[in-house]
């Protein structure tokens, strides 16, 4: 670089923090150079696929694979009986439960894996599947979690001993189909406050079952090299290191002999955190056949069997003074986990971070109870931009606030404002236990309401109601509000682990002699743009251009151990590790610079891309000079090379927040909502790449629209999945998606080295209640209090009908 460039130009040249640097990965993705699991093709590779149960609950009387073995190209058919001698017919789940790998005596949900057919190609495997004859004996199907807790029907034989329920992973069971009870807060004081309150609002709401439906389904390629004793496993893993440890623990293969690689991933959204039977079967099949084995789900497999989201029945009571000051909150959840408890939560949190359900409000007394229940549905529950159930928690409180506003006959924006935790109260300890690190809710709320001209909108809405009543229009106007507080960045090792693995994260940096670098992290991008943003953090920390820094993730042979990408934890945890490792590099660079400049270490200071002698800015060494010196000078007392590694255990979570407003016009006769405006203000602390943040917000809002307005995994009474294809499962397209207005405030996290908080899940967490509140608000003037999502056209029409608006 020329010396005559200005300081501003030097800053710009780094493309560091705060720069809307274009995504470096997109050159590959947009030109067909992505490398996804299904792109992996190995010599002699076989294909495995599942025989799946058509029944939701049935005993398996017999499996006859003889005809399948006659199908040309079919090499093997694995059943539970084959896996049992290896102890692999069941596998541990991330929630402390266990799950059948292949049906062991019975099936518990439609689509459950019954047998694994291994063939020379995908088509032969499909023919083989058709030829496997399974004899089922149908059993009574339980799809309703409330019924599950009453029935004599035992879904899981392992929950009962001598006719009594045995303890589960999280304590005693109340019933044989009950998984756990989880409580937070103070029961009796909450009851007392509610009993003595001026006003109490009660509501029951169902957050329906849905599915993240990533563009790329789940899959893997397992390759066992028997000569070297090495197993390589490529897969769509959001947590490759954890998968390696789990594979080692359950297979007995030593961990150094297992290499897990997450190549490019076409969207994860939590769908790819857990371990699936397909992984285990592919590994076993590769060991048995001594050939690489690929398994890739089709769309129906993905929608019907892998990690779903929500299915929470939430019953709430919220109390307040006449003036609207909230005094207490009670929440009871009946959580439908399906046939196995396969939630991907930190061990101590069987209902995730549902205990953030006091939201952004200063609620002095609260109590939460969650009952987890088995039913005949697919397992999962923690996915889809959920931040470990913060989506459920925020939906709950943001609906309760609206219902309380109705009860108080008060404006819902004002009700929020008078209950927000105040700026000076941070760090704030909530009644349900969390310590919120920072926030400035009033500033964000005022900015949002002012930008959308909230008062003007309410006046317009009132006129519209009059016009409707006068027969001048058939359209109602809904103003959806939501204010959310997220909790992301799991997390402190002291209270967050998955399968005993503490949830720290890591970064390892190597600076090359010419002043370029590679940094490897324990996380793995699935579309979030880590290769772009983590290089920006480093650029600002170490003064080398982001364009000269390669970011690599997802290969356990090269990356430092980390817990992966979910729960919007990459920036809060691995991003912090990156900054800390960068600072170690800078500390060594300072010593090298001082030596080169022939001054004491304390007499040089860092300035953008160089160390300068204090008071003599013309005397400096650039980071590029220093990198070279690290490899070519013998410096007394300093080792050659310039590398650093950081394993970062965050002291707390980070607490991003946001203020959203949606304006919607609803045609009462067709039930069609037209989104006129959507405004989203996000505060994720220090912003690394504003363009990427905006992209995250657009994506999360679109998924929020999907969930709130139509998407669901619906079952009939027989446990048949009614929405198992994209013909029935709503995926929004450009047609349904409005123009989003994004905005921000910046309240840095006080404990994060660069003040950044996560953002990936925020727009979904805040977006769902905002869309839902808009629909419900449109009908408030006509007596609507609460209706359940998804608000598809038919359900909106029915709401209008029930309120007599078609009369």
**Residues of the shown chain interacting with ligand MCN in the complex, contacts defined by CB under 6 A:** 267-270, 385, 526-530, 533, 565-571, 684-689, 692-693, 696, 699, 756-761
DSSP 753: T
CB of 568 to ligand MCN, least distance (A): 4
Which residues, 6+ apart, have CB-to-CB distance to 766 below 8 Å? 394, 482, 483, 484, 658, 660, 680, 682, 704
The mark string for 518-557 relative to ligand CUM (x by CB under 6 A, - otherwise) is ----------------------------------------
**Is there binding between residue 386 and ligand CUM (CB under 6 A)?**
yes
Q: Which is nearer to ligand MCN, 613 or 692 (CB)?
A: 692
**Of 116 and 269, which has the nearer Cβ to ligand MCN?**
269
Annotation says 238 is catalytic: yes
Burial of 33 (0-12, 13-18, 19+ CB in 10 A): exposed
User: In degrees, to the nearest 5, what angle opens at C-alpha 601 toward C-alphas 597 and 603?
Assistant: 75
User: Which of 383, 622, 696, 723 touches ligand CUM by CB under 6 A?
Assistant: 383
Cα separation, 409 vs 170, whole angstroms: 42
What contacts 161, CB < 8 A, 6 or more positions away?
A: none
By CB atoms closer than 10 A (0-12, 13-18, 19+), residue 186 is middle
Neighbour tally for 289: CB within 10 Å: 16
Residue 567 in contact with ligand CUM, rule: CB under 6 A: yes
- The minimum distance between CB 389 and ligand CUM, in angstroms, equals 8
> CA-to-CA distance for 269 and 525, rounded, in angstroms?
11
- Please say if 386 is a catalytic residue: yes
Binding at 382: pick from ligand CUM, ligand MCN, none (beta carbon under 5-8 Å per type): ligand CUM
Query: In 692-728, which positions are buried (b, 16+ CB within 10 angstroms) versus exposed (e)?
Result: bbbbbbbbbbbbbbbbbbbbbbbbeeebbbebbeeee
| CA separation for the pair 381, 336 (Å, rounded) | 8
What CA–CA distances, in Å, run from 399 to 201, 209, 408, 440?
A: 11, 18, 14, 22
Shortest Cβ 756–ligand MCN spacing (Å): 4
- Of these residues, 385, 389, 464, 780, which one is catalytic? 385
Residue 325 CB, nearest distance to ligand CUM (Å)? 33
Could you say whether residue 372 binds ligand CUM (CB under 6 A)? no
- Region binding ligand CUM by CB under 6 A among candidate stretches 218-226, 268-276, 403-411, 441-449: 268-276
Q: Of these partners, ligand CUM, ligand MCN, none, which one is at the site of residue 331 (CB under 5 to 8 Å by kind)?
A: none
Q: Give the HSE-up count for residue 261: Cα atoms under 13 Å, Cβ half-sphere.
A: 17
**Residue 761: CB minimum distance to ligand CUM, A:** 6
* Minimum distance, C-beta of residue 460 to ligand MCN, in the bound complex (Å): 34
Q: Which residues contact 423 (CB under 8 A, 6 or more apart)?
A: 439, 440, 441, 442, 443
For tokens 């679109």, the residue is: 702
Query: Is there binding between residue 654 and ligand CUM (CB under 6 A)?
Result: no
Any alpha helices (H) in 476-597, and if so which ranges? 530-542, 576-597
Tell me how far, at minimum, the Cβ of 262 lies from ligand CUM, in Å.
13
In the complex with ligand CUM, the residue whose CB is nearer, 341 or 508, is 341
The one of ligand MCN, ligand CUM, none whose footprint includes residue 528, by CB under 5 to 8 A per kind, is ligand MCN
Query: Among residue numbers 98 through 157, which ones bind ligand CUM (CB under 6 A)?
Result: none
43, 116, 118: which is closest to 83 by C-alpha?
116
Contacted entry of ligand CUM, ligand MCN, none for residue 699, CB cut-off 5 to 8 Å set by kind:
ligand MCN
How do 106-107 and 164-165 pair as beta strands?
Answer: unpaired
Name the DSSP letter for residue 655. -
Beta strand segments in 163-268, E: 164-165, 178-185, 199-210, 219-225, 230-235, 258-261
566 binds ligand CUM (CB under 6 A): yes
- Residue with Cβ nearer ligand MCN (203 or 505): 505
Whether cis (ω within 30° of 0) applies to the bond prior to 427 is yes
The nearer residue to ligand CUM, 343 or 581, going by C-beta atoms, is 343
Binding partner of residue 304 among ligand CUM, ligand MCN, none, CB under 5 to 8 Å per kind? none
State in angstroms the smallest separation of the CB of 763 from ligand MCN.
Answer: 9
Instruction: Compute and round to an integer the Cα radius of gyration of the chain.
Output: 28
Contacts with ligand CUM in 236-255 (CB under 6 A)?
238
CA atoms of 343 and 379, how far apart (whole Å): 8
Count of residues interacting with ligand CUM (CB under 6 A): 14
134's enclosing H/E stretch is: strand 133-138
696 binds, among ligand CUM, ligand MCN, none (CB under 5 to 8 A by kind): ligand MCN
Tell me the two tokens of residue 199. Answer: 């006003």
Task: Determine phi and psi for 475, rounding to 5 degrees.
Answer: -110, 135
Q: Which does 533 bind (CB under 5 to 8 A by kind): ligand CUM, ligand MCN, none?
A: ligand MCN
Query: Which of the choices ligand CUM, ligand MCN, none does residue 571 contact, using the CB cut-off of 5 to 8 A by kind?
Result: ligand MCN
- Which of 383, 533 has the CB closer to ligand CUM? 383
φ/ψ of 523, rounded to 5, equals: -100, 180
The least distance separating ligand MCN from the CB of residue 386, rounded to whole angstroms, comes to 7
- Which 273-312 residues touch ligand CUM, going by CB under 6 A? 273
Tabulate helix, strand, coil % of the chain (nearest 5): 30, 25, 40
Is position 761 annotated as part of the catalytic site? Answer: yes
Minimum CB–partner distance for residue 283 and ligand MCN (Å): 25
Q: How many residues does the chain have?
A: 807
Residue 652 binds what, of ligand MCN, ligand CUM, none (CB under 5 to 8 Å, by partner type)?
none
Residue with smaller CB distance to ligand MCN, 604 or 693? 693
**Nearer CB in complex with ligand MCN: 23/294:** 23
Question: Given the DSSP bridges, would you call strands 199-210 and 308-320 parallel, antiparallel or unpaired?
Answer: antiparallel
667, containing H or E segment: strand 657-667
From the list 761, 770, 776, 780, the catalytic residue is 761
Question: Which lies closer to ligand CUM via its Cβ, residue 387 or residue 548?
Answer: 387
CB nearer to ligand MCN: give 337 or 569: 569
Residue nearest to ligand CUM (CB): 270
Q: Does 797 bind ligand CUM (CB under 6 A)?
A: no
Q: Which of the residues 99, 238, 526, 528 is marked catalytic?
A: 238
Between 223 and 387, name the residue whose CB sits nearer to ligand MCN.
387
DSSP 572: I
Task: Choose which of 111, 263, 270, 790 interacts with ligand CUM (CB under 6 A).
Answer: 270
- Cβ 307 to ligand CUM, closest distance in Å? 9
From 343, 386, 507, 684, active-site residue? 386
Tell me which of ligand CUM, ligand MCN, none is bound by residue 685, counting a contact when its beta carbon lies within the kind-specific cut-off of 5 to 8 angstroms. ligand MCN
What is the tally of helices (H) and strands (E) in the chain? 20, 35
* CA 119, 121, 125, 127 torsion-angle sign: negative
Given ligand CUM, ligand MCN, none, residue 530, with its beta carbon under 5 to 8 Å by kind, binds ligand MCN
Site for ligand CUM contains 384 (CB under 6 A): yes
Contact stretch for ligand CUM (CB under 6 A) within 58-66, 379-387, 645-653, 726-734:
379-387
Contacts with 448 (C-beta within 8 Å, 6 or more apart), sequence order: 659, 660, 661, 679, 681, 743
d(CA 264, CA 543): 28
Q: Does 396 bind ligand CUM (CB under 6 A)?
A: no
Q: Which does 53 bind (CB under 5 to 8 A by kind): ligand MCN, ligand CUM, none?
A: none
Residues that bind ligand CUM (CB under 6 A): 238, 268-270, 273, 382-387, 566-567, 761
Could you give the residue numbers annotated as active site? 238, 385-386, 761
């Amino acid at each position: 670089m020329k010396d005559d460039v200005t300081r501003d130009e030097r800053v710009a040249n780094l493309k560091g923090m705060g720069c809307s640097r274009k995504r470096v990965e997109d050159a590959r993705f947009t030109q067909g150079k992505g490398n996804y699991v299904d792109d992996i093709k190995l010599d002699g590779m076989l294909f495995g696929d599942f025989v799946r149960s058509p029944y939701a609950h049935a005993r398996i009387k017999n499996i006859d694979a003889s005809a399948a073995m006659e199908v040309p190209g079919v090499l093997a058919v694995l059943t539970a009986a084959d896996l049992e001698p290896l102890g692999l017919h069941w596998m541990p789940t991330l929630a402390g439960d266990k799950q059948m790998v292949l049906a062991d005596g019975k099936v518990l949900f439609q689509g459950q894996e019954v047998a694994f057919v291994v063939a020379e190609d995908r088509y032969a495997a499909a023919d083989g599947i058709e030829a496997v004859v399974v004899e089922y004996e149908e059993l009574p199907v339980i799809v309703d979690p409330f019924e599950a807790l009453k029935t004599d029907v035992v879904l899981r034989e392992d929950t009962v001993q001598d006719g009594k329920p045995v303890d589960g992973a999280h304590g005693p069971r109340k019933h044989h189909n009950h998984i756990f009870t989880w409580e937070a807060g103070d029961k009796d004081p909450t009851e007392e406050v509610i009993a003595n309150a001026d006003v109490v609002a009660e509501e029951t709401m169902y957050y329906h079952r849905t599915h993240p439906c990533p563009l790329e389904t789940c899959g893997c390629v397992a390759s066992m090299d028997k000569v070297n004793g090495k197993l390589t496993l490529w897969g769509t893993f959001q947590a490759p290191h954890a998968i390696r440890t789990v594979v080692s623990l359950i297979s007995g293969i030593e961990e150094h002999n297992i290499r897990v690689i997450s190549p490019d991933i076409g969207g994860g959204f939590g769908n790819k955190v857990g371990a699936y039977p397909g992984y285990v079967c592919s590994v076993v099949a590769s060991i048995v056949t001594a050939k690489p084995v690929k398994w890739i789900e089709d769309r129906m497999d993905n929608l019907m069997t892998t990690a779903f989201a929500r299915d929470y029945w939430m019953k709430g009571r919220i109390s307040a003074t006449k003036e609207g000051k909230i005094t207490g909150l009670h929440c009871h959840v009946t959580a439908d986990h399906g046939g196995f408890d396969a939630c991907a939560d930190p061990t101590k949190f069987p209902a995730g971070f549902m205990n953030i359900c006091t939201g952004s409000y200063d609620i002095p007394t609260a109590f939460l109870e969650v009952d987890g229940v088995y039913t005949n549905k697919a397992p999962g529950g923690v996915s889809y931009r959920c931040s470990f159930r913060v989506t459920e928690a925020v939906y709950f409180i943001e609906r309760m606030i609206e219902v309380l506003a109705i009860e108080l006959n008060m404006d819902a924006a004002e009700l929020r404002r008078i209950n927000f935790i105040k700026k000076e109260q941070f760090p704030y300890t909530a009644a349900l236990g969390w310590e919120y690190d920072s926030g400035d809710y009033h500033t964000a709320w005022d900015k949002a309401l002012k930008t959308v001209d909230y008062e003007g909108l309410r006046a317009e809405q009132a006129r519209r109601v009059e016009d409707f009543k006068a027969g001048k229009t058939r359209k109602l106007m809904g103003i959806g509000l939501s204010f959310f507080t997220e909790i992301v960045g799991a997390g402190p090792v002291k209270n967050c682990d998955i399968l005993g693995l503490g949830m720290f994260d890591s970064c390892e940096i190597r600076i090359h002699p010419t002043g370029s670098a590679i940094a490897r992290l324990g996380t793995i991008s699935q579309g979030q743009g880590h290769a772009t943003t983590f290089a920006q953090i480093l650029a600002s920390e170490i003064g080398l251009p982001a364009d000269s820094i390669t970011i690599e993730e997802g290969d356990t042979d090269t990356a430092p151990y980390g817990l992966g990408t979910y729960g919007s934890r990459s920036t809060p945890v691995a991003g912090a590790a990156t900054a800390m490792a960068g600072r170690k590099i800078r500390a060594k660079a300072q010593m090298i610079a001082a030596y080169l400049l022939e001054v004491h270490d304390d007499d040089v200071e860092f300035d953008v891309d160089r160390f300068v002698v204090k008071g003599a800015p013309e005397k400096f060494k650039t980071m590029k000079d220093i990198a070279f010196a690290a490899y070519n000078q013998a410096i007394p007392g300093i080792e050659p090379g310039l590398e650093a590694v950081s394993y970062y255990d965050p002291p707390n979570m980070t607490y991003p927040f946001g203020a959203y407003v949606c304006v919607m016009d609803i045609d009462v006769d067709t039930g069609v909502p037209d989104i006129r405006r959507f405004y989203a203000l996000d505060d994720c602390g220090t912003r690394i790449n504003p363009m990427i943040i905006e992209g995250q917000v657009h994506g999360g809002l679109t998924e929020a629209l999907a969930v709130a307005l139509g998407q669901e995994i619906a079952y009939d009474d027989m446990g048949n999945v009614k929405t198992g294809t994209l013909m029935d499962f709503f995926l929004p397209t450009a047609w349904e998606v409005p123009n989003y207005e994004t905005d921000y405030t910046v309240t840095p996290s006080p404990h994060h080295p660069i003040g950044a908080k996560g953002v990936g899940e925020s727009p979904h967490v805040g977006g769902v209640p905002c869309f839902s509140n808009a629909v419900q608000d449109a009908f408030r003037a006509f007596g609507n209090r609460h209706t359940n999502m998804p608000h598809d056209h038919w359900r909106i029409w029915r709401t209008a009908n029930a309120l007599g608006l078609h009369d």
